[in-house]
Structure 1
Amino acid sequence: MAEVNRQTTTATVRWQLLDRTAGGNAPPVDWRFTVGQRVKIRLVNEMDSDHPMHHPFHVHGAGRFLVLDRDGVPERNLVWKDTVLLRTGETVHILLELSTPGAWMAHCHIAEHLHSGMVFSFTVTAGATR
């Protein structure tokens, strides 16, 4: 594994966050939310990559989230987070509560992965006023 890690650079490996909801391999869609929304998101760390490993998934200041389950097993310790460790081969469901308007990003917290493309942005709007 150490030798594989030494050979893994942004020139040799492209880390990606993909949206598979439409059955494809596209970058995440143009996500747009409104303050006050709660959105359930499924995160999958697939085993069939060239270099499977854990990824700490981080969401910037748009809000906070709860980890609902890991591989279908309900999370017993429901605490608000902004980062979750997505283990190799694991599926995690989170409930994202959006509280702050703006343009935000979500990414892998490993700097090399972020630099290589494991990042996307999304927008949170204040919503309609009454």
Structure 2
Amino acid sequence: MTPTELTVRQKSKVLDIAFDDGSAFSLPFELLRVYSPSAEVRGHGTGQEVLQLGKREVGVTALEPVGNYAVQPTFTDGHNTGLFTWEYLYKLGNQQQALWADYMQRLHAAGFEGDSGRQPGAAIPGAPVAAKGCGSH
């Protein structure tokens, strides 16, 4: 999977990404930040993940290419150690609803259910963008 288009939208706080298979996603910066593939967020093994709090308004100040396989965002909270491969960005887009639900559940379980701008069962911001085409196939 290779991106054909990558657009940082500062006002709406989303990363729009289209792939060569025709799929496209709008990934909210908050989602990118709380699911950063960095060791700071994921830990160094199962059970070492760190719940990210207060990321509702996080922005992206830079998005640097890493070879031909990834980008490295710098977030407004200073976090900049996650390398987002094309495969990982595709996974975030494809599994966005389940990931939001999991994040909301973890916030709730930790007593921080109001920490995100999301509410359980609410419309998911950045849901998949309709693929280009005639729409009948």
TM-score by length of 1: 0.29
Greater share of residues in strand = 1
Highest relative contact order (Cα 8 Å, sep 6+), 1 or 2? 1
Larger radius of gyration: 1
